[in-house]
Amino acid sequence: MTESAVLIVEDDPHLREALFDTLAGESLHVLTADSGPAALEILNNEEVGLVVSDLQMEPMDGATLLRNIRELRPDIPAVLMTAFGTIENAVKVMRDGAADYLVKPFDAAQLKAIVDKYLAPVSQIDRPLAVDPSTRDLVRIAERVAATEATVTITGESGSGKEVFARFIHQQSSRRDHPFVAINCAAIPENMLEAVLFGYEKGAFTGAANAHPGKFEQANNGTLLLDEITEMDLGLQAKLLRVIQEKEVERIGGRKLIPLNVRVLATTNRDLRACVADGIFREDLYYRLNVFPLHVPPLRERHHDIIPLAELFLYRQAESPGRHLTEDAKQSLLAHRWPGNVRELDNLIQRSLILAHDGDVSAADLAFEQDLKPATSTVDETGLQQSLEDREFQLIVEALAVSHGHRGNAAKALGISPRTLRYKLARMRERGFNLPGESHE
């Protein structure tokens, strides 16, 4: 799948066939429709990257089709074909959102040039892949909120694509030419997170040999993504709230307030309201961040996205071009529950390409994680053949069971901090582990 499809909409069958032959001869994926309603049906069911439509058609003309495309798939560029005498109409529809127009009669070179201009390879489309209706709705909402300065909190399971949507909001906003800075609040030790966020001056603490700007400063005039915001310590949450409210930051060890112009986005794989109720997330920070909530559904609820995503990953990762998924492979992918979501699918395609023979990828080539686990040993009951991480996760499950799901007691028994335990639990959910009922500290 080197490129998404070009959709030709033309009610003249001879011209439609000629346009198809011209583009198909360039090894492009070409779809055709003989009317506006037929084109809209295709857009509802296929991954289309460019529409080339006649302006004068019945019963729906090209201008009406364009308005429908803008509502249904605003991400798709549309090129209108028009006769010389209706150029004025073509200019009008360009004001209404058409990407370009072609004046009939045009030659094959002109058509190819305009397709090359507007049809981006799938691997270069810097936007969420949205085939499933629920994902398309989410993209449309994200585009609308991107045009504002609203703070957005994006929720969803680990690996579902929250950061992809955060980057998309930045790219669609007026800040697109300024930095997008992401920080994973769960991956940085608590005693370092404040310095990473707010920066520090030389000598502010042992090891601070030079002054260093924090993530807020680095994102000035752009967007800062606070990934897994619920893993941040309560004390640091209070400082974060002040910086967001006052729109200024003071480096650790500094005396100067630095003005900020930063849009803040946040993501979490947890229920923010529940975190507030449990006392592990500040209510005032919740309302400051959750101005516009977006929820990314898990992959198992975006059924129509599974195969297009798999084909996209296959195209990006295959060393030799032209490799495809067989029908039985597609059925296997659709039947899987995807506890690790899009990230799990990406990993699966990478593993499968390593293990598969050349040619198309069949169901037998799909290296699902459970298929790679060694057989259980009847002699060694301690699980010596399990990976170190699997054994660690099993110990956590046992500690939660003994503590009746109380995370604070489980963390103490394991000799780790509650924050570290929360991070590991997130990894376990991503891996599909069934966790005993949890309660909070």
317 within 8 A of 350, measured Cβ to Cβ: yes
Instruction: Write out the H or E segment, with its range, that includes residue 111.
Output: helix 108-118
What pLDDT is stored for residue 377 in this prediction?
Answer: 42
pLDDT of 26 > 80? The answer is no
pLDDT for res 101: 82
Judge whether residue 353 has pLDDT over 70.
yes
Task: Find the angle CA(121)-CA(127)-CA(129) to the nearest 5 degrees.
Answer: 80
Lowest-confidence region among 144-153, 267-276, 388-397: 388-397
CATH of 5-122, one of 3.30.70.580, 3.90.600.10, 3.30.70.260, 3.40.50.2300: 3.40.50.2300
Q: What is the band of 84 on the pLDDT scale with cuts at 50, 70, 90?
A: low
Question: Rounded distance, CA 171 to CA 223, Å?
Answer: 10
Q: How confident is the model at residue 124 (pLDDT cuts 50, 70, 90)?
A: very low
Region 17-32: mean pLDDT is 85
Q: Name the helix (H) or strand (E) containing 406.
A: none
What Cα–Cα distance (Å) separates residue 44 from each residue in 205, 216, 296, 307, 345? 58, 41, 20, 15, 24
Q: And the tokens for 202?
A: 């030389």
Task: Please give the average per-residue pLDDT across 282-291, as a whole number.
Answer: 96
In the predicted structure, residue 429 carries a pLDDT above the cut 70: yes
**pLDDT for residue 86 is more than 70:** no
Split at pLDDT 50, 70, 90, the class of 284 is very high
Q: Which of 156-165, 258-267, 390-399 has the lowest mean pLDDT?
A: 390-399
Q: Residue 382 above 80 pLDDT?
A: no
Is this structure's pTM higher than 0.85? Answer: no
The pLDDT value given to residue 400:
82
Single-letter amino acid code for the residue at 103 = V
Main-chain phi, psi angles of 15, to 5 degrees: -70, -40
Residue 378 to residue 363: CA distance in whole angstroms: 30
Fold entry, domain 303-372: Helicase, Ruva Protein; domain 3 (1.10.8)
> What pLDDT, in 10s, does the model give residues 136-187?
899 999 999 999 999 999 999 999 999 999 999 999 999 999 999 999 998 8
Class of domain 133-295: alpha beta
Q: What is the DSSP letter of 28?
A: -
Across 44-72, average pLDDT: 86
Mean pLDDT of the chain: 84
Instruction: State how far the Cα of 436 lies from the Cα of 399, in Å rounded to an integer.
Output: 10
Domain limits of the chain? 5-122, 133-295, 303-372, 376-441
Question: 418 or 51, which is more confident?
Answer: 51
pLDDT class for 324, splitting at 50, 70, 90? confident
DSSP secondary structure string for all residues of 130-182: --SHHHHHHHHHHHHHHTS---EEEE--TTSSHHHHHHHHHHTSTTTTS-EEE
**Confidence band of 126 (pLDDT split at 50, 70, 90):** low
Q: Could you tell me the end-to-end alpha-carbon distance of the chain, in angstroms, rounded to an integer? A: 49
Q: Is the pLDDT of residue 3 over 60?
A: no
Q: What is the CA 61 to chain-centroid distance, rounded?
A: 35
- Residue-level pLDDT at 98: 78
* Residue 21, pLDDT above cutoff 50: yes
Q: Is residue 295 scored above 50 in pLDDT?
A: yes
- The pLDDT of residue 2 is 41
Longest dimension (CA), the chain: 85
Cα distance between residue 276 and residue 284, in whole Å:
9
Q: 384 is written with which tokens?
A: 């010596």
At the topology level of CATH, where does 376-441 sit? Arc Repressor Mutant, subunit A (1.10.10)
> 375: burial class by Cβ within 10 Å (0-12, 13-18, 19+)?
exposed
Position with higher pLDDT, 238 vs 381: 238
Q: Is the peptide bond before 105 cis (omega within 30 degrees of 0)?
A: yes
- Domain 5-122 and domain 376-441, same fold? Reply is no
Q: Chain-centre distance of CA 20, in angstroms?
A: 33
